[in-house]
Amino acid sequence: MPRAETPRVALVVTTFERPDALARVLDSAHAQSRPPERLVVADDGSGETTRRIVEAFARRAGFPVVHAWQPHEGWRVCRARNAAVARCREDYVITVDGDMLLDRDFVADHVRHARRGCWVQGCRLPLSPQATARLIGTTEPAALARRTDTDGRHRLQALRVPWLARRLGGLANGWLAVKGCNQAFWRDDLLRVNGWDESLRGWGPEDKELAARLQNAGVARRSLAFGALAWHLHHPPADRSHAKAGQALLARTRRTRRTRCERGLDAHLAESPPGEGVV
């Protein structure tokens, strides 16, 4: 059994032009029972409204907040995440999407589940369009999300049971799908595999491809069920036109057992000096 360790945490929130959802996600980050040491907004080219929301959040957060913005040149979430992680100096990186409402104990649960030699897959609890509209209009979205009905399968996943989360560990790997909207990594492991592969452009399996390289490098997967709950605000499906190329890259990674990508995190390290949190 890998040993437990209490890390310093950076929370990375990816976003693109959905400021109403981002505002609610940041509200849920502010309400954490165990706040992160740093929060980085990985912004794939949003406009002025998003900038103002991040600035306002930084003034009240109580921990450093960084707005890692890049110009929008198509869907470049891999590059956005790499640039954000390069701005972190904490041991442990939790990544969420900017449409995921975080339970009050989200960060605390991830910290309790952290083990050296492992990365962690958390859950995604989908919300209906009607529930999303209600939650976007409140400043306590995560508290209300706990009382929002989901379908039968996800209603079970929405239970927070800390002792059961600890017991399950890797046993839940067959239950929770690999999804980048709720994951956690030791920063050293991300550096080892060079982060997300920036040759992937457009929606595609960038999360599964990273997971495959981590596995090839000997970093085991643990799934966090019944903890680190996060609710997904509804939106229309993303454009899947680039998915075939992404699937081909994923198949190559598995076939060749490669561990590092060529275009990744290392390109951003030299241009991201340490800072205490600037917008």
Measuring CA to CA, how many Å separate 57 from each of 82, 126, 259, 278? 22, 25, 37, 12
Residues 6+ apart with CB under 8 A from 215: 221
Over the stretch 189-225, which tens digit does the pLDDT of each residue have?
Answer: 999 999 999 998 877 799 999 999 999 999 999 999 8
65-69/38-43 β-pairing: parallel
Phi-psi region of 63 (alpha: psi -120 to 50; beta: other; left: phi over 0): beta
Higher pLDDT, 278 or 192: 192
**Taking the model in full, what pTM does it have?**
0.91
- Over the stretch 142-153, which tens digit does the pLDDT of each residue have? 565 555 555 445
Query: What pLDDT band is residue 177 in, cutting at 50, 70 and 90?
Result: confident
Give the right CATH number for 9-201+217-237 from 3.90.550.10, 3.40.109.10, 3.40.50.300, 3.40.50.720.
3.90.550.10
* List of long-range contacts for 145-150, beta carbons under 8 Å, 24+ apart: 145/101, 145/103, 145/231, 146/103, 146/229, 148/231, 150/125, 150/126
Domain boundaries, the chain: 9-201+217-237
- Tokens 């400043």, located at residue: 139
